[in-house]
């Protein structure tokens, strides 16, 4: 509430005028920031001009074009949408062309009045399909279902399934945010091409952030390329790469990268899961040109390639606080190596209760880094330390293999429930005050603290957690 300290008629009049001056300014400000919304359904209604749900258009491209001058949002209900085939061409030339400053949101039911009214599903329920020709043939499917070119302000794709294209999205010299999307059954999920010969301006770079999204059953999940020294800059968070299989053999055609092909790119992957991907050169990732790849809090499990499940030349990546199923020469000490599956089943990439990936992430990871929800839409932080991979385990902790019965010294068998000392294969619950003796080296797989527990270190005493090599 606005109050004024004077009570004279003049001051009350002045206060009234000031009040309305402020109100008018605020209304003008609100109006200047309000975004135009276009509404899209599989079947148009009313006038079909996209001005409301009652007058929704059935043409996504028409909705995009109507906002090209001002920017705004496109709201789409669940259903199937295909790009229009241009007159005189076949389906290969059909696409949806994106424009600066436009956010496209899927997953609406058709009666929402605010974006927060939308109840997101995982995966999304709004599908963009490139199967525009003969359903039995991929030859006339869209070359690119979505095309983003020379976009210098951030656009958004949110809540979409992109499927059955030769490429799901082609991004050239563009800035883009991709949230809650699934790229499935495309020849390539995303193809990112940056630069131009002789150009040095950053406008020729791609800057793309992908969060809470999945790449499944494509020949290749993400592929980057650049020329003229200009790069692709990717940040990928809480994403799943699963069963992206490139069956091609070398010499005949491209045989690189099931999940990722990274050339001329800087790519940061945080809390991503890679499982059951394949390519001759690099089931998880392959590179034949300069790159910078960093993986943090990731899981690499069950991937394969005839020439190795990772293939890096000339650079090697940074892998830290992650779980992998075979040793890599460039992994950091924080990496867990285990052939025991961290997943709840062969059909789900959710973590099981006893997974080594639970509570094993970088302790410095916060919501600022990865957001507040995981790929399933559940809380990203359940305990004090984040899990590895795209999904956070929501249940109770796995029962410990061994726990303390009383306070004492670590090397005293009598304080341990199993009648033996803990090893680096044990999940250990400390419920009491325990002393690590002088110059003693203790090792455990996982350390869990009860509220009354504490460790006391004598000189030279050490405790290693997660020294896995099994």
Q: What is the pLDDT of residues 118-129, one digit of tens each?
A: 998 877 899 999
Q: Cβ(268)–Cβ(234) under 8 Å? A: yes
Nearest to 387 by CA among 412, 358, 415, 363: 358
Helix (H) or strand (E) holding 429: strand 427-430
- Is the model's pLDDT at 228 over the cut of 70? no
Do 323 and 418 reside in the same domain of the chain?
no
Domain boundary among 348, 370, 392: 370
Same domain? For 25 and 169 the reply is no
Beta strands 348-351 and 343-345 are antiparallel
Q: For residue 266, is pLDDT > 60?
A: yes
Q: How many CA atoms does the CB half-sphere of 221 hold within 13 Å?
A: 32
| pLDDT band for position 247 (cuts 50, 70, 90) | confident
CA 447 – CA 427 distance, rounded (Å): 6
Q: Are residues 105 and 251 in the same domain?
A: yes
The C-alpha atoms of residue 190 and residue 41 are separated, in whole angstroms, by 25
User: Is there a single domain that holds both residue 130 and residue 235?
Assistant: yes
Query: Does residue 192 share a domain with residue 334?
Result: yes
Is residue 382 included in any domain, yes or no?
no
Please determine, for residue 438, whether its predicted confidence score (pLDDT) is greater than 60: yes
Q: Evaluate whether residue 308 is within a structural domain.
A: yes
- Domain residues for the domain of 27 are 1-34
Return the CATH number at 280.
2.160.20.10
Residue 71's SS3 state is coil
DSSP code of residue 67: T
Tokens of 194: 């940056």
Shared domain for 238 and 248, answered yes or no, is yes
Q: Are residues 364 and 423 in the same domain?
A: no
Among 64-68, 324-328, 330-334, top mean pLDDT goes to 64-68
Tokens matching residue 442: 């203790």
Domain assignment of residue 297, yes or no: yes
Note whether residue 375 is domain-resident: no
48: left (phi over 0), alpha (psi -120 to 50) or beta: left
Provide mean pLDDT across the span 346-369: 93
Place of tokens 């029962």: 399
Q: Is the pLDDT of residue 238 over 80?
A: yes
- The secondary structure of residue 352, as a DSSP letter, is P
The pLDDT tens digits for 139-167 are 889 999 999 998 877 799 999 999 999 99
45 and 6 share one domain = no
> Would you give the DSSP letter of residue 204?
G
- Which single residue is written with the structure tokens 């359903």? 135
Do residues 421 and 457 both lie within one domain? yes
Structure tokens that stand for 71 in this block = 């920017």
Angle value at C-alpha 60, between 54 and 63, nearest 5 degrees: 65
Is residue 147 in a domain? yes
Sheet holding 433-436, edge to edge: 408-409, 433-436, 454-457
- pLDDT, residue 13, reads 44
> Does the structure show a pLDDT above 70 at 469?
no
265 touches 294 (CB < 8 A) = no
SS3 assignment, position 116 = helix
Measured between alpha carbons, how far is 57 from 68 in angstroms, rounded to an integer? 16
Number of structural domains the chain divides into: 3
Q: Is the pLDDT of residue 83 over 50?
A: yes
The average pLDDT across 100-120 equals: 95
Are residues 240 and 307 located together in one domain of the fold? yes
Query: What are the residues whose beta carbons fall under 8 Å from the beta carbon of 461, sequence distance 6 or more?
Result: 410, 435, 436, 437, 438, 439, 440, 442
pLDDT over 50 at 25, yes or no = no
pLDDT tens digit sequence for 297-320 = 999 999 887 655 566 665 778 899
**Residue 177 pLDDT greater than 90, yes or no:** yes
- Is residue 251 over pLDDT 80? no
Residues 366 and 461 in one domain: no
Peptide bond into 33 cis (omega under 30): no
Predicted local confidence at residue 134, as pLDDT: 86
Write the DSSP string, 267-292: EEEES-EEES-EESB-SSEEESS-EE
| Residue owning tokens 């004492």 | 408
Collect all residues with Cβ–Cβ distance below 8 Å to 366 and sequence separation of at least 6. Answer: none
Q: Are residues 349 and 282 in the same domain?
A: yes
Instruction: With a cut of 70, say whether residue 261 has pLDDT above it.
Output: yes
| Residue 251 within any structural domain of the chain | yes
d(CA 363, CA 384): 8
Residues 403-432: tens digit of each pLDDT: 999 999 999 999 999 999 999 888 898 999
Q: What is the pLDDT of residue 5?
A: 34
Residue 159 corresponds to which tokens in the numbers above?
């809540």
The answer to whether the Cα torsion of 4, 6, 8, 14 is positive or negative is negative
Q: How many angstroms separate the CA atoms of 38 and 49, rounded?
A: 8
- Is the pLDDT higher at 398 or at 107? 107
**In the block, which residue shows the tokens 């951030």?**
154
Tokens of 369: 């880094």
Residues 6+ apart with CB under 8 A from 414: 405, 406, 408
**Residue 388: inside a domain, yes or no?**
no
Tell me if 43 is assigned to some domain. yes
pLDDT of residue 21: 44
């Amino acid at each position: 509430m606005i109050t004024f300290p004077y009570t004279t008629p003049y001051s009350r009049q002045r206060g009234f005028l000031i009040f309305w001056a402020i109100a008018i300014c605020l209304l003008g400000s609100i109006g200047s920031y309000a975004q135009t919304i276009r509404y899209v359904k599989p079947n148009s209604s009313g006038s079909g001009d996209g001005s409301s749900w009652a007058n929704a258009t059935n043409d996504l491209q028409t909705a995009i074009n109507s906002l090209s001058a001002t920017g705004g949002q496109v709201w789409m209900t669940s259903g199937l949408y295909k790009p229009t085939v241009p007159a005189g061409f076949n389906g290969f030339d059909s696409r949806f062309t994106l424009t600066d400053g436009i956010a496209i949101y899927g997953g609406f039911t058709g009666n929402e009045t605010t974006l927060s009214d939308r109840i997101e599903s995982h995966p999304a329920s709004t599908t963009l399909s490139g199967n525009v020709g003969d359903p039995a043939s991929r030859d006339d499917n869209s070359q690119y279902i979505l095309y983003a070119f020379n976009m210098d302000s951030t656009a958004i794709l949110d809540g979409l399934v992109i499927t059955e294209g030769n490429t799901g999205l082609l991004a050239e010299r563009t800035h883009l945010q991709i949230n809650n999307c699934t790229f499935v059954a495309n020849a390539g999920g995303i193809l990112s091409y940056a630069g131009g010969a002789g150009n040095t301006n950053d406008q020729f770079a791609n800057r793309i952030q992908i969060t809470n999204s999945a790449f499944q059953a494509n020949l290749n999940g993400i592929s980057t390329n650049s020329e003229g020294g200009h790069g692709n800059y990717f940040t990928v968070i809480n994403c799943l790469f699963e069963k992206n299989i490139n069956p091609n053999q070398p010499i005949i055609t491209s045989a690189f990268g099931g999940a990722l092909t990274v050339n001329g790119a800087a790519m940061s992957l945080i809390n991503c899961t890679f499982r059951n991907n394949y390519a001759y050169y690099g089931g998880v990732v392959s590179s034949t040109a300069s790159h910078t790849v960093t993986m943090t809090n990731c899981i690499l499990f069950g991937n394969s390639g005839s020439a190795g499940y990772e293939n890096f030349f000339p650079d090697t990546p940074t892998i830290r606080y992650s779980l992998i199923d075979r040793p890599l020469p460039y992994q950091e000490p924080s990496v867990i190596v285990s052939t025991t599956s961290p997943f709840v089943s062969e059909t789900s990439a959710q973590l099981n209760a006893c997974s080594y990936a639970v509570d094993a992430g970088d302790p410095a990871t916060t919501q600022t880094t990865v957001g507040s929800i995981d790929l399933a839409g559940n809380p990203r932080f359940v305990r004090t330390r984040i899990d590895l991979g795209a999904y956070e385990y929501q249940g109770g902790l796995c029962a410990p293999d061994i726990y303390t019965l009383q306070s004492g010294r670590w090397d005293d068998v009598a304080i341990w429930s199993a009648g033996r000392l803990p090893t680096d294969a044990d999940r250990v619950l400390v419920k009491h005050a325990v002393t690590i003796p002088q110059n003693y080296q203790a090792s455990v797989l996982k350390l869990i603290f009860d509220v009354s527990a504490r460790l006391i270190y004598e000189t030279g005493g050490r405790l290693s957690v997660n020294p896995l090599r099994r």
